[in-house]
Amino acid sequence: MSLPKVLVTGATGKTGMAVVAQLRQKNFPVRAIVRSRDARSKQLSSLGAETVVADLFDPGQMLAAMRGTLRAYYCPPLHPQAIQSASAFVVAARETRLEAVVGLSQWLASPNHPSLQTRQLWLIERMLSSIPGTVHLNLNPGYFADNYLRLIDFASLLGVFPVLTGKSRNAPPSNEDIARVAAALLSDPERYAGRSYRPTGPKLLSAYDMAAIIRKELGSPVLAMELPQWMFVRAARLQGVAPFDIRSLLYYFEDHKQGAFEYGAPTGVVEELTGHPAEPFDATVRRYLNQPFAQRTLGNRVRSFFNFMRAPFTPGFDVKGFEERQFQPPPPSPLFAMQDEQWKAEHGAMLEVLPVP
């Protein structure tokens, strides 16, 4: 019997690309949505995926891309109008009678959170769960390991590991483990129907613990350095991060410091669904250290030193003003996760069905 074709949105992203790879390893036919034909779409084709160029915000293009598929991995874009993309996806899913969808959400999802993205994700969870005849599986990881390791070149090349979350802890999942869980859910959606799954790493770590792990893997000194918020905003702008993304991350740093990602972590979801233990942080670090941008070449050292030194002089963003100018609808009483009794009650109940190692 042939396996059902799976639609993957965000296919050139960090989890989307990994989901495609995992599904292809299981021999599922995959249709991957891409923004344009480029090196990343060629990489998807080399995995054996069918690639289609489509706009996630356009209902007609989403419908055309979804026809002929039975299951889907939906990764909402990090965007002020993410709800528009989700609406287009839901309309297409109803029209095509999609069999099952794994929706990537986040551990913080709440109608009361100060982040617009987080409030939208809470709504999107409910939109996906209300599609008639479609099995919905909610994948809500916390703060990814990738978020800490995007600056690993500073540690490798300059001996400095920027800390943005204080001494608070997290059990960060790797992109690959998130993808393995998504592929497992898509392989047998009826078995897991109607449940939420939070994949985590195997151990709670602070950013200072992570710096020690990176130091051990490098075999050279690495200093954990607290990075002020204003410096982060300038460094992020230097890297081309959009204002909306920066604003969202600033909120998530505060959640992190308040213990939202430590709450209920670690879980045993990765091992329960995939049969393999969650990847330890040191293994993830080794993979990132092997990336070209982290290699200890003269060119990389010069580039990193130059970017590090010019970051304080790069103009920042007025992130609060940006939020106001975008007319983002604020909740009546914005609350971070650990301040929100409704969020803690819902997530505490969720933890009762999440296996813990």
Domain ranges of the chain: 6-143+174-197, 145-171+201-266+277-334
72, containing H or E segment? strand 71-74
The one-digit pLDDT tens for each residue of the chain (357 residues) are 689 999 999 999 999 999 999 999 999 999 999 998 888 889 999 999 999 999 999 999 999 999 999 999 999 999 999 999 999 999 999 999 999 999 999 999 999 999 999 999 999 999 999 999 999 999 999 999 999 998 899 999 999 999 999 999 999 999 999 999 999 999 999 999 989 999 999 999 999 999 999 999 999 999 999 999 888 888 888 888 888 999 999 999 999 999 999 999 999 999 999 999 999 999 999 999 999 999 999 999 999 888 888 888 888 778 777 777 877 788 889 999 999 999 998 887 666 544 444
Check: pTM over 0.85? Answer yes or no. yes
pLDDT of residue 202: 97
Q: How far apart are CA 15 and CA 174, in angstroms?
A: 9
CATH 3.40.50.720 fits 6-143+174-197, yes or no: yes
Residues 294 and 288 sit within 8 Å (Cβ to Cβ): yes
Residues of the chain with pLDDT > 70, as a percent, come to: 97
Return the number of other C-beta atoms located less than 10 Å from residue 130's C-beta. Answer: 11
pLDDT of residue 235: 86
Q: In angstroms, rounded to a whole number, what is the distance separating the alpha carbons of residues 100 and 134?
A: 5
How far is Cα 237 from Cα 152, in angstroms, rounded to an integer?
18
Q: What is the pLDDT of residue 350?
A: 66
Homologous superfamily of the 145-171+201-266+277-334 domain (CATH)? UDP-galactose 4-epimerase, domain 1 (3.90.25.10)
pLDDT at position 354: 47
User: H helices within the chain, ranges in order?
Assistant: 14-25, 39-46, 59-66, 82-96, 116-129, 145-149, 152-158, 175-187, 189-192, 207-218, 229-238, 243-257, 269-274, 281-289, 298-310, 319-325, 341-351
pLDDT at 347: 85
